[in-house]
Amino acid sequence: AQSVTQLDSHVSVSEGTPVLLRCNYSSSYSPSLFWYVQHPNKGLQLLLKYTSAATLVKGINGFEAEFKKSETSFHLTKPSAHMSDAAEYFCAVTVRNQGGKLIFGQGTELSVKP
Amino acid sequence: NAGVTQTPKFQVLKTGQSMTLQCAQDMNHEYMSWYRQDPGMGLRLIHYSVGAGITDQGEVPNGYNVSRSTTEDFPLRLLSAAPSQTSVYFCASSQTGVSNQPQHFGDGTRLSIL
């Protein structure tokens, strides 16, 4: 069965420093993986997706993620944090042969200090 | 461009009351789904639909009913509300149920059951 584990429930960085949000997945086949961001009192917005093309995926707002099959990881990074990046981030995997069903990780709250 | 619209945004119910959470999308998407979000648990799938007239259960369907009479609308019904159903509910849609397609989320309904 597919599953997703986000390794940190909370990450705090200073503005201008790099961001690393960690996600490991479990899947018996090549998965489709997504990162979503949720700002307070808002829905989820797609940051980027991996769908078996390039392993380094670029998303919106300067974020990118690298799919590493050998490590079953899909970590999200950004070179320089901005105050507006403070939000909750979710990693998700889709379920094979079950269409758009998404399995979400528990979420990582990102705080950005001035 | 409205996208996915959820109403109401907030609701307080008493135990045993019933209500319907509304979800509408204007993107002609075939696939629609309902998730609930609880602290530390990410989002969990309640019910989903791959097209008008077709619905199926997700991970946590108990206590909820759905129907899909049109492509645009996918209401979620609580027949007899319980405090355990206090949560934030998100509706999502995607063009089809293909696993590599991202889902578009509404802004959520925040529901409290007293």
Question: Among A22-36, A40-54, B11-25, B84-98, which range has the highest average pLDDT?
Answer: B11-25
Q: Tens of pLDDT along A82-91?
A: 999 999 999 9
Q: What's the average model confidence in pLDDT over A44-50?
A: 93
Is 70 exceeded by the pLDDT of residue A27?
yes
Q: Tens of pLDDT along B10-37?
A: 999 999 999 999 999 999 999 999 999 9
Chain B residues in contact with A98 by the CB 8 A cut-off are 97, 99
A98 touches chain B (CB under 8 A): yes
A21 — pLDDT class (breaks 50, 70, 90): very high
Is 80 exceeded by the pLDDT of residue A95?
no
B95 — pLDDT class (breaks 50, 70, 90): confident
Is 90 exceeded by the pLDDT of residue A61?
yes
A28 touches chain B (CB under 8 A): no
Cβ–Cβ gap B99/A49 under 8 Å: no
Chain B residues in contact with A49 by the CB 8 A cut-off are 100, 102
Count residue pairs from A and B with Cβ separation < 8 A: 74
Q: Tens of pLDDT along B32-62?
A: 999 999 988 889 999 999 999 999 999 999 9
The structure tokens listed for B27 are 């993107």
A88 touches chain B (CB under 8 A): no
| Mean confidence (pLDDT) of chain B | 93
> Is B71 exposed, middle or buried, given 0-12, 13-18 or 19+ CB atoms closer than 10 A?
middle
Task: Tell me what pLDDT residue B39 has.
Answer: 86
Q: Measure in Å the smallest separation between the Cα of B107 and chain A Cα atoms.
A: 4
Is 80 exceeded by the pLDDT of residue A100?
no
Q: Taking the CB of residue A24, how many other CB atoms lie within 10 A of it?
A: 17
Site of tokens 């629609």: B32
Cβ–Cβ gap B40/A90 under 8 Å: no
Is 80 exceeded by the pLDDT of residue B1?
no
Q: Measure in Å the smallest separation between the Cα of A3 and chain B Cα atoms.
A: 12
